[in-house]
Structure 1
Amino acid sequence: MGLLLIAGSALWFVLTGNTGVRYSADTDDTIPMWFRWIPVLAGLALVRLMPIPAAATTPTQRQPRLEAGVLLASAVLFAVTLRLAGGGEPAHTLLKLLLLLGVPVAMFWSLRRSGTAWRPAGAEPEVWRRWTPAIPVAAWAVLSYASPWAMPSSDFAATVDLATLVLVLVVGFLVNSLLEEVFYRRWLQSRWEAILGRWPAIVLASLLWAAWHVAIQGTGDLPVDLASTFVNQGVLGLFLGYLWSKYRTMWPIVVIHGAVNAIPVLLSLL
C-alpha cells in the first residue's frame, strides 16, 4: 500500500507535467524528482546485489506492539502539530525534542523499570559488516553531488559568519540527522519490522518521515504537498531504511542524512 502511494504520487506528477520537487526548506526552487531517485536506485541495487547476507536476527518471544504504537502516534502527532504550528522555529525544534525524543525516552525508561521493555534479538554486527555499507553510500554520494543529477548548492554559507555556520551545521546534525535517524529507523522501523516484516516497516517509516516535511516545504495544498514529500523524502527513506534493516549499523544512515542537509551548504564554499 505504501509503495503504491509513492508510485501513484509519481504517476500523478508525470501526468500533470509537474515533476519538480523542492529539495530544501530554504528555497522555493525545485529539481526533477528523478534527481533524487537515480542515486537512491543505484544505492538500493548495490545493497541488494552485494554478496553480503543481512544482519542475523532471531525471533523474539513477543512483539513490541505497545512501543510500536506509541512511536507511531508520536510520529503522526509530530507531523500534524508541526504543520498546524506553521513549521517554523522554535516550534520545529521544540516539537521534535518533545515528540521524537522526550516521549520515546520516557516510555523506554518506564518499560525498562518494569522489566517489560522490548529488546531486538540478534548479535552485534561483525566489524567487516559495519563498513560494507561504505560502497553503496559512496555511490549514492557521487551520484547525488558529483554527477549530472547533482543537488544544487545553497547560498546560506555566504549570508552568515563562520561561527554561525558551524553552529547551524552542528545543531542541525544533532537535531535533524542524528535524532531523526534514531527515531524513524532505529526505534520506529525496528519495532514495526518485528510486527510487519522488513519492507512494510521500511515503507511505513519512510512515509512517516516524509510526511512531516510538508510543514517546512509545503505550499498549502495538502494532497500535492504529501505527494511531493512521498516522491522526494519518501524515496530517500527507502534507501535509509534498507541500509538500517540489512546492516543494523547507524553510521551509513546518519552520514547520508547529514550529507543531504550539509553538503549543499558546504559546496558553496568551494
Structure 2
Amino acid sequence: MYGFGYSTLVLNKTQTQSRSAASRAVLVTGGLVFAGSALWLVLSGNTGIRYSADHDGSVPMWVRWIPVAVGIALVRFVPARPAPVTPHERRTVVEASALLAAAVLFAVVLAVAGGGEPAHTVSKLVLLLVVPVLLFRWSRGAGKTGVSATGPWWTPVPAVAAWFAVSYAGPWALPMSDYAFTVDVLTLVATLVVGFLVNSVLEEVFYRRWLQTRWEALLGRWPAIVLTSLLWAGWHVGIQGTGDLPSDLAATFVNQGVAGLFLGYLWSRHRLMWPVITVHGAMNAAPILLPLL
C-alpha cells in the first residue's frame, strides 16, 4: 500500500511539473510572438494597422492597445472570486485539443479561400459550431465546462464602459464608418443582426467559453488567454490580409490578438458571456451606429 501511494504521489508530482513547464512554454512563446510582431511592424515601417475588414483605413498599432490596457486594469481591480474551470481529466485534454485543431483549421481554410463569402460564414459555422457540438455529444460533455459566474452580473460594467469610452471617444477614438448611410434600413438591420450572431456571439462562445476555459484547466489563466487570443487573431488574416503573410500575421497579433487579451481576461475573471459579447459586438457595430446618433 505504501509503495502504491508513493508511486501515485510521484506520478502526480511529475504531471504537475509537466503542466507547469507547458504553461511557462506557452506563456513565454506567446509573449515573444506579441513582442516580435510589434518589432516586425516597426522595422518594416508598417505600424499602421487596419481596424476594419471593410476598408483599408489604418491607425497606429498602439492606439488599439490603450483601451485594452484600461480595460484590463479595471478588470484586475474589480474583486472576483477564483474562476472555476473544468477538472483536469482525459476528456478535457481531448476536447481542448480538438477545439484547438478546429481553430487552426478555420484560420487555414479562411486564408486559403481568401476570406470571401460564403467561405467565411460556412467554414465558421461548420468548424466553430457544428464540430464542437458533435465533439461534445461524442464525449458526453454536452459542452458543459463547469462555468459559473464569479460575482454579480454588473461587476464587469466599469471595465466594459471604460473600454468603450476610450475606444470611441476622446483623442484615441477610432474613425467612424459611413456604411449606415450607403444602405437602406432593412439591409443595415439585417447586416448588424447576422453579423452579431455569427461573429460576436459564435466567436465568443467558441474561443472564450469553450476553447479558453478548457485550456485554462490544463495550462492556467494567462497561458490559456494568450493561446486563445493568438488563435482568434490568426483567422483575421483571411479577411484582412494583403498577401504578405509575415506582416499580415504580425498585424493581426498586435491588433485582434491584443484585444483578445482583454476579452480573455474579462471572461476568465467574471465567467459572464454578456461582457465579452458586448465588447466584441461593439468592435463591429459601434463605428457603424455611432454616426447615426
Q: How does 1:215-254 map to 2 (within 5 A)?
A: 215-254=238-277
Q: How far apart in 2 are the matches of 1:177 and 1:265?
A: 15
For the pair 1:55 / 2:78, whether they are aligned, the reply is: no
Q: Which residue of 1 aligns with 2:168?
A: 145
Q: 2:188 aligns with which of 165, 170, 186?
A: 165
Q: Which residue of 2 aligns with 1:120?
A: 145
Q: 1:46 aligns with which of 57, 74, 87?
A: 74
Equivalent pairs counted in the alignment come to 265
Identify unmatched segments of 5+ residues in structure 1. Answer: none
Q: How does 1:1-270 map to 2 (within 5 A)?
A: 1-56=29-84, 59-60=87-88, 62=90, 64-112=92-140, 119-121=144-146, 124-125=148-149, 128-270=151-293
Distance change (3 Å), C-alpha of 1:121 and 1:62: farther
Q: How far apart in 2 are the matches of 1:205 and 1:157?
A: 32
Corresponding letter in the other structure for 2:55: T
When Rg is computed on C-alpha atoms for both structures, the one with the higher figure is 2
1:92-133 C-alpha deviation (Å, 9 max, x unpaired): 000000000010011111222xxx6674346x326x532100
- Cα distance, 1:184 vs structure 2: 0.4
1:126-174 C-alpha deviation (Å, 9 max, x unpaired): 6x53210001000000000012111111111111100000000000000
- Cα distance, 1:48 vs structure 2: 1.2
Moved more, 3-12 or 198-207: 3-12
Corresponding letter in the other structure for 1:37: W
Q: How far apart in 1 are the matches of 2:284 and 2:276?
A: 13
Contact 2:212 2:224 in 1 (8 A): yes
Q: How far apart in 1 are the matches of 2:214 and 2:291?
A: 39
Q: How far apart in 2 are the matches of 1:58 and 1:227?
A: 32
Q: How far apart in 2 are the matches of 1:86 and 1:18?
A: 22
Corresponding letter in the other structure for 1:125: A
Contact 2:40 2:247 in 1 (8 A): no
Q: TM-score, normalised by structure 1?
A: 0.93
The root-mean-square deviation of aligned C-alpha atoms, in Å, is: 1.7
1:221-257 C-alpha deviation (Å, 9 max, x unpaired): 0000000000000000000000111111100000000
Q: How far apart in 2 are the matches of 1:65 and 1:10?
A: 32
SS of the aligned residue for 1:24 comes to coil
Corresponding letter in the other structure for 2:220: G
Contact 1:60 1:121 in 2 (8 A): no
- Cα distance, 1:8 vs structure 2: 1.3
- Cα distance, 1:63 vs structure 2: 5.8
Q: TM-score, normalised by structure 2?
A: 0.86
